[in-house]
Amino acid sequence: MDSAELIVNKEVPYIVQLTLNRPHQLNAWTLPLEAALFAALDDAMSDPVARVVVITGAGSGFCAGASMDMLGGAARPAAQVRRRRLCELAEFPKPIIAAVNGAAAGLGIALALWCDVRICANDAKLTAAFSRLGLVAEHGTAWLLPRLVGRARALGVATPMLRIAVCHLQVNENRLAAPR
């Protein structure tokens, strides 16, 4: 079940790999991508063969956050009525691994944080611009980040320290590639 914006790979037994497929925009989040991701997660949840889900990004980025094209319409309350929430990942019955292969910003870092395990490329860049803009972190990041890294680290969100704090394992980028 592939969409243009999400690739679902079940070639490796027991593993469902979900690849955000908008590399020309560093896999910026769109409403169609969101719908495809949650549909694929629902499918993986009911698949008795699937044991783990891996989420990664195509190209050189994990997820650069919300697409600028969707920010206006997606922020309206009416548009959010049928939308799913990233915090649902906390209740997912199978482990979800974020294979962070590059930039993870805004909504992208929230996606990675809601995963059970984060494996990051050595050159992965994790950033949360909300603190520099005087905004509250989106998608539960303000609640989740201090629980993952501690309050002191969460208050001083600096990109290099954030990657060190939230990643369970750092690997060379080529080790994050899809199995062949």
What is the pLDDT at residue 73?
55
Q: How far is CA 73 from the centre of its chain?
A: 21
- For residues 9 and 57, give the distance between their C-alpha atoms in angstroms, rounded to a whole number: 13
Domains for the chain: give ranges and CATH numbers.
6-176 (3.90.226.10)
For residue range 67-93, list pLDDT tens digits in order: 887 666 555 554 555 788 888 888 999
Mean confidence (pLDDT) of the chain? 81
Nearest to 74 by CA among 31, 32, 38: 31
